[in-house]
Amino acid sequence: MKIDRSRPQSSGNVVSARSAEAASRAYGAQDATAAAPARATGDVATIAGLSEAELTPKVRQALDMLMTEVQRMREELSQARHRITYLEKLADEDTLVPVANRRAFVREMSRMVAYAERYGANTSVLYFDVNGFKQINDQHGHAAGDAALQHVAMLLAENIRESDIVGRLGAMSSV
């Protein structure tokens, strides 16, 4: 469905203010009255090129219902997009510290390596191993170990550029 704002060509193209307001709501205008025809300035709202005579009460009612449904679907889409963003964050972030988990870190590192190879850019990888971490857990408990990891992650995250990435690979046991 197409909604146009144009100057009147003839007096037969005026749409009711109610239909124009519904169209405005359905198509995301900030102010529902923004699409209402302003007869003083000569603005006219048309819906898909239909004239006033073609907009019978049943057609207006059907258009209102369709526009309401479009608005509801836009709201659902917005909520779904927010949910997807949240789920992507959950899938990429370590559960203990707010840095990339192993999967996200390896993915981003692969992208950076591909970029560096393609454009001949210099890159660096820094790898930190928190020595004695098992001893912290054993002597002071897991809460202290978690706090130590969070502190190290915070220090790293606060001292990198926007284009850098910090990730936690987790325990790498050698068997």
Kind of pairing, strands 3-6 and 44-47?
antiparallel
* Separation of alpha carbons 146 and 47, rounded Å: 60
Give pLDDT tens digits for 86-138: 999 889 998 888 899 999 999 999 999 999 999 999 988 888 887 778 898 89
CA dihedral over 12, 17, 18, 21, signed as positive or negative: positive
pTM confidence score = 0.52
Instruction: Provide the token pair at 45.
Output: 């709202």
User: Structure tokens of 141?
Assistant: 């408990």
Residue 74, pLDDT > 90, answer yes
Instruction: Tell me the pLDDT tens digit for each residue of 24-71.
Output: 554 444 444 444 443 344 444 567 777 777 788 888 888 889 999 999
pLDDT at 171: 61
Domain ranges across the chain: 3-89, 99-158
pLDDT confidence tier of residue 85, bands split at 50, 70 and 90: very high
Question: Which of 31-40's residues contact partners 24+ apart within 8 Å by CB, and which partners?
Answer: 35/3, 35/5, 39/14
Q: Confirm if 21 and 9 have CB atoms less than 8 A apart.
A: no
